[in-house]
Structure formats: C-alpha cells, structure tokens
Amino acid sequence: MTVSHPQEVELKLALPPWQAEAFLKRMARRRVVPVEQELVTRYFDTPDFALSAAGVALRVRRTLKGASTLKGTSTGRRWLQTLKTEGERQGGLSKRAEYEMSIPRGTPDWDRFPAEALAYVPQALREQVGPVFETRFTRTAWLIKGKGGAQIEVALDVGAVASGERSQPICEIELELKAGQPDALFALALEWAGTFDCLPFDVSKAERGVQLAHGLEAAPVKAVSLTLDPGMSVESGFVAIVQACLAQFQANLPGVLGHLPAAGCTPPLPNPDEATKQSTKSVNGQVAVYPPQAGEHPEGHEGANAGPPPIDDIEYVHQARVALRRLRAALRLFRRVCVLPDDVMDGLRTLAAALGPSRDWDVLCSETLPAIAPHYPDPPRWQAGMEVLQENRERVRAAMRSALAEARPGRWLLEMQRWLLLHGWRRVPTGEMVPETQRLEQLSLLEHWARRALKQGHRRVKRGARTFAKLQPSERHALRIAIKRQRYAAEFFRTLFAGLPDGHTQRQAKYLATLREAQDSLGRANDARIAAELMAAAPPQTGPMAEFVRGWLAATLAEAGDEESARLMRDFLDMRTYW
C-alpha cells in the first residue's frame, strides 16, 4: 500500500468561468501534454458535521474518464480515499497534512489509514460517517517547471459541487508544489491574476459542500477578533494583524465585484454512473446545459447559462472598505518598523479610492435619505427623486467595479502574500537588510511595543478631546480619524491584555466602547457633510425633493451632534487607561 507524502503545499485561484478557454490556450503554449480527467468525489461526515467542524475533510474519488496518472485520482472501479486537515491558509496558499491511498469501494476504509491519520478522527466518529455531498468536475492538469527549477502541478477544475437539490459551479486553478519553494507558486499566480482576473481563494471544495449541505448562502464577512500572544515578537504580531485584514478583504471581494455563485437551487449533478452523459433541464421553457460550459461570460447569455447575477448587497462594499481601512491603520501603526514597498502601498491606495464613491452613495440612498423621507410632504415626488438618485448610484457602482477590476485586486493580494512569505519587511527596497536597530525592534516583544503604541495614540486623541468645542469641521474630521486609528489599534492588541486583573479588563471594555461611540457620533456628522456634497451635485430631475434634502442636511450640519460628541470627549478624558 502506498501513502502519499503527508504535507501538501498548494495555491488556489478562483478563475472567472468565461476565462477558462483563454487559460487553456495560454497553457497550450507551454507544449506540455495535459492530462484530462472527469472526476467524481464523495465527501463523508457525521450527521452533525463533526469532521468539518474539526477542520478535517474525508473523501473518496474516482476517475470516470481519462488517464489516472495524477496524484489524487484513481481509474475505473478503484477509488482513492483522502483525509485532509485544515492546516495553514493565507491568501490562497495552504499547507496541510494529507493522507491518501487506493481502496476497492466508494466508501472509506479506515483500516488502510496510518495511525497518524486516524488520530484526527476518533473511533466514535468513524462509526457515524456517511456521504453528505459530492463534486463532479473535469480536471485538466499539467506538470510544469517553475521558478528556480520548481516542479508544479497545475490543475484547472471546471464543474460543480452539489448537495441534494443545491449546487454551485466550480471553476478554479490549483497549483500544487511537487518540489521547490512556495515562491514559485506565486510567480505563476501573479502572471495569471494580471491576465485572467484570478482571485486567491481559500475556500476548499469540501467547505463549499458543507455550506451547501447546511443551506448556507454567501454573506459579507466582518472583521474577526485576533488572538495575539504576549510572547510574540513585533514582526509576528505585524504579520498576524495584516493577514487578518487581508482575509477580510479577500472574503468580501467577490461580492464587491458581483460574481459570487448564484444563491438558491440549481439542477443536481448527474449520477456518477451516467458520467459520460450531459445533463439537461428545462428552465423557463429553455433547455439548459448543466453545468455551464467554460468560456461563457455571465453577461453574454440569457437563461440558465447566464451565470450568477450581480450581487447587490451593499454590505460587501462596506466590509471590503473596512478591511482596507484597518489594513492602512495597521501599516501606519507599524510604519517605522515594518515598511511596505511603495508600489504595493500605491496599489492599496488605488483599491481604497475605487471603493469610496460607491460607499458614499450607498450610505446616502440606504441610510441618510430613508431617515429624511417621512418628513417630506409629497411622497410621489420623493419617490420620483429617489429613482433619479438610484440611477446615479448604479452608475457609480458600475464605475467602481470597472475601476476595481482595472486595479487587479487579485494580483495585489498575491503581491501582499508573496511579500509576507518572503519576510519582505526585513529588507530595504534596494535588497539589503534593514538597519540593526530596526531589526532589533522587529524582534522585540510585541506586548511592550503595543503598550507604547497605545500610549502614543491615546495622547493624540486627548489633544483633540481637550479642545473639542473650539475645533473647526476639518479638525473634527481629523480627530475622528485619530479615534478610529486608536480604536483599531486597541482591537488589534486586545488579547495581549487578557491576563489583566478584572478592573483592568472592565476599563478595557469601557475604553473600546467609548472609542466606538465617539467614532460613530463624529461619523454621523461626516456622513451628513458627504451627503450634502452629493446632493449639491444631484441631477436637476430630482427637483424640489433635492432642495428639501439640502436644507435638512444644512440644519443637521449646523447642530453636528455637538452635545453627544462633547459628552463622549469628556468621558474619554476622565477614563483611566488599562495597559
């Protein structure tokens, strides 16, 4: 019995389905004969999905058509069983334990797994596992040479994952490192991300299947709490914080671009025993081929083959923008110790600028104006004005998506991940090591460094809080930014102070709550200012409705929430710090 090497290093990219044909043509230039297979894979779990909850994927796979010369496949009546662990995943790159071997039937054979694999699944759980979902896709694979003589298996998978009556399309590129350094994977991925609009993709087929089995739909992703160890070095803390920000941006990016898998039910996969047949289903009187064929652009067809509709959930834009703001705050926080290259920083600014106008219009149309609407005496005219503004909002959103696509966010994410992988902060732009004093600071204890950083940020906010009543609007805006940066820093470093006495923990919670409230209070005035600027340039077709809104906003700005904000500034000045 042969068991594969237990360490898998892989980089996964989501490929727009309409780019699959172009990608195949690009690979044909390499003059490497590809191996094409049709694969069926059954995933197993307990009724309550205990394996997936523990970060374990258990599957059996068979090749229905094509030669079986690649790892992870088995031809004919024999199957290949695989157990994978969650491992490390960042920016599409994953490193995880993997155990696989041939079996005679399409159900797991526990006796064939080595002891180290069985340790991931207790005996009690093994007795409960059963099939929960299935994938079927065509894999076209090439074994090529990469940077530094690395050997890389490139696989294009096109098909679908299904559970019951629900399914989602699969169109992704997997780059698996056979020999060499992981940087070779990024060298290839960067080229393709710039050409084919690929995005780094951390979600495995197993995870997508579990989500389908649970009936879960894609949703915007908020920032998650970080767990930092007081014994960490400054550079380790820097990497953890940056990775968390990148993960949030990457998770929301497909929703911003508008090309998430369609929600709801789609035709189920064909029976594996009828794998050579093409499935058809009548949809709205049309006969549609399933799954959608490679090369079809979602905007180029109608009916079932049109691809997923654009996603219009404005929260994706909001959370993507929050992720970039948190990232910029983190980079500013560490700006003297871990310095991002200028070109990558410029890319970050471009992405942030692309999201801004669309978010401003979202806030105007979904938050500011609905609050004013009940006070307008002529509902039909209000509705007519809103329709004009909504049309403009859609134009801004379309421009945002075009600008974002031009900025190649997938390539930028890969550049960030490659820089982190190579420990780029340890070198200056010319390639030499950073000065010794800077390197020593990178290696110093994060907890001590974080205390100093929080003290500095606290002093900046205090300066503005003391003179709040005298601040001009531009100065209040600057104070809001200082408060936001201090809030993000306090959230980044929150767990470093988890071992403090109860009194300090309570002060920490109060400190964060006050920063959030102050940011929100000053933010409402900023929203009114931006709304006033947008309404000042509103199309003339909005008529009297726009005049009413401009007057309302002028009154709001005149009040500017002074009383609430002033109270919060007094609370801040009276607070004792917790670090």
Contacts of 113 (CB under 8 A, 6+ apart): 81, 83, 99, 101
pLDDT at 77 (0 to 100): 65
Per-residue model confidence (pLDDT) at position 325 = 96
Which residues on neighbouring strands pair with residue 137, listed in sequence order?
39, 159
Query: What global pTM score does this model have?
Result: 0.83
* Residue matched to tokens 């230039």: 29
- Quick one: pLDDT at residue 76? 56
Rounded Cα distance between 241 and 249, Å, is: 13
Residue (of 501, 470, 464) closest to 486 by Cα position: 464
Q: Are 51 and 58 in contact (CB under 8 A)?
A: yes
Peptide bond into 6 cis (omega under 30): no
pLDDT given for residue 265 in this prediction: 35
CA–CA distance, 176 with 469 (Å, rounded to integer): 60
Residues of the chain with pLDDT under 50: 1-5, 261-311
Written as six digits, the tokens of 37 are: 């297979």
Q: Tell me how far apart the alpha carbons of residues 449 and 231 are, in angstroms, rounded to a whole number.
A: 11
Reference 253, options 317, 162, 304, 305; nearest CA is: 317
Structural contact between residues 442 and 337, judged by C-beta atoms closer than 8 angstroms: yes
Residue-wise pLDDT for 410-457, tens only, equals 999 999 999 999 999 999 988 899 999 999 999 999 999 999 999 999
pLDDT of residue 89: 67
Tokens of 136: 């079927």
